A = this chain, B = another copy of it.
Amino acid sequence: MVGAGQLARMCAQAAIGLGVKFTVLAADPQESAAQVVPSTVIGNHDNVDDLLAFASDCDVITFDHEHVPTEHLDALIAAGIAVRPGPHALVNAQDKLQMRTTLSAAGIPAPMWREVTSAEDVAEFATTAGWPVVLKTARGGYDGKGVMVVTSAEEAAVVLSGSNVRWLVEEKVDFTCELAVQVARSPHGQAAVYPVVQTIQRDGICREVIAPAPIDEDTAMQAQAIALQIAQLLDVTGMLAVEMFLTADGVVVNELAMRPHNSGHWTIDGAVTSQFEQHLRAVLDLPLGSTAALAPHVVMVNVLGGDHPDMYHAYLHCMARDPGLKIHMYGKEVRPGRKVGHVTVVGDDLEDLLERGRHAAAYLTGEITE
């Protein structure tokens, strides 16, 4: 796996159970996955020689992020290496203009959007979509970065000025809630879809996930059908996460990720097959596992770094207070706002699970002290 963040770390756990040999290309030996994976290779995912050297010992290459340049992926394939997902699929998770173009051509529900190069383009778009609108860089955004809400042509001009990257504008969708759907797809075309989840974001960062999403069955089936359709359309191998908005008219696709995704962390403790195991099964072309949930409700809350670098006593407190919590720590240095872990709770009573998950995450972050 290229990249050694927490997604790679949780894949390493799954690889142990599968009996699959797993290693990572890490920028630094202190990265989350590098700490727990033997024979970690240190290198730069932007350097094609580092990638080729890493891949020379691997049967299959996959990714914990979307940042490897397409031309490097092509070089890996030219060297005879199995790259999953392939660059033709992955580009849709790397480039939002590419993704919007491909999905809209296939008639998949999306917000109104267009490519823009000037504040005039944005203003023209707003005459139909209405202000405010959302400006996005085609590439490089994550966790709210590269996404700006603007309320006027003047603001759009400030955002776009001096920029030499490609931009698109999207309507600001009036949504009831945000949803996500995980799909696994393997090279020979087997696909499996997980229950639809609700995601709750703050400041562009996912904070909570509720599985299954509290929506009606028709909507859930529509969302799952769209996610499966996208996986096939884009020839995805591995996990695909489709983030969606639920509107009065149904769901529209917001963003894609082609890897295990924060909205699927609940599956470690809450589903028969975790998204991390499933990603490995999919990219290795092993038969996929059951996506069934293990309990009526599962809640996952992210633990963000707070002001206190040492979480140890909070960790003890939360474990002692609630023996049913599944607290996952990523081995990352605590910095304010950084995802350093997550808490999952499974059970029958959603309100109870939400209270317990939120309490633990807030206590670990340091937002509360009782």
Contact = CB atoms under 8 A, between A and B. Distances in A.
Interface of A: 9-10, 12-13, 15-19, 21, 35-38, 40, 192, 268, 272-273, 281, 286-290, 292, 294-295, 315-316, 319-320, 323-331, 341, 346
Given A35-B38, A38-B37, A286 B316 contact: yes
B286 A17 contact: no
Given A16-B9, A295-B294, A319 B35 contact: no
Copies of the chain in the assembly: 2
Contacts of A346: 272, 294
B19 A341 contact: yes
A53 B286 CA distance: 41
Contact of A38 (B36, B281, B329): B36
B36 A16 contact: yes
A294 B17 CA distance: 19
A292 B324 contact: yes
B13 A16 contact: yes
Contact of A18 (B21, B281, B320, B329): B329
B290 A323 contact: yes
A330 B287 contact: no
A294 B324 CA distance: 11
Among A15, A288, A289, the most chain B Cβ lie within 10 Å of the Cβ of A289
A117 B293 CA distance: 57
A315 B18 CA distance: 10
B287 A320 contact: yes
A48 to B, nearest CB: 27
B16 A326 contact: no
B281 A319 contact: yes
Among A36, A281, A329, the most chain B Cβ lie within 10 Å of the Cβ of A36
The 6 closest A-B pairs by CB, nearest first: A19-B329, A287-B320, A287-B319, A290-B323, A290-B324, A38-B38
A331 B36 contact: no
Contact of A319 (B9, B289, B320, B331): B289
Contacts of A295: 294
10 contacts: A15-B36, A17-B329, A19-B331, A35-B38, A272-B323, A287-B316, A287-B320, A289-B325, A294-B295, A294-B346
Contacts of A341: 19
Among A19, A37, A320, A341, the most chain B Cβ lie within 10 Å of the Cβ of A19
A256 to B, nearest CB: 25
A327 B287 CA distance: 12
Nearest to A320: B287
A123 B16 CA distance: 50
Given A9-B16, A16-B9, A289 B323 contact: yes
A287 B321 CA distance: 9
A138 to B, nearest CB: 35
